[in-house]
Amino acid sequence: MESYLRVGVIASTHGLKGEVKVFPTTDNPKRFRELKKVLLDTGHEYKPLEVAGVKFFKNQVILKFREFDDINEVEQYKGKDLLVTRDQAVPLEENENFITDLIHMEVYTDEGIRLGTLTDVLQTGANDVYVVETEEGKEVLLPAIPSCILKVSVEEARMTVHILEGLLE
pLDDT in tens, 68-82: 999 999 999 999 999
pLDDT in tens, 136-159: 999 999 999 999 999 999 899 999
User: Which residue, 129, 120, 122, is CA-closest to 161?
Assistant: 129
DSSP 80-140: -EEEEEGGGSPPPPTT---HHHHTT-EEEETTS-EEEEEEEEEE-SSSEEEEEE-TTS-EE
Residue-level pLDDT at 113: 92
pLDDT in tens, 80-121: 999 998 888 777 778 788 888 899 999 999 999 999 999 999
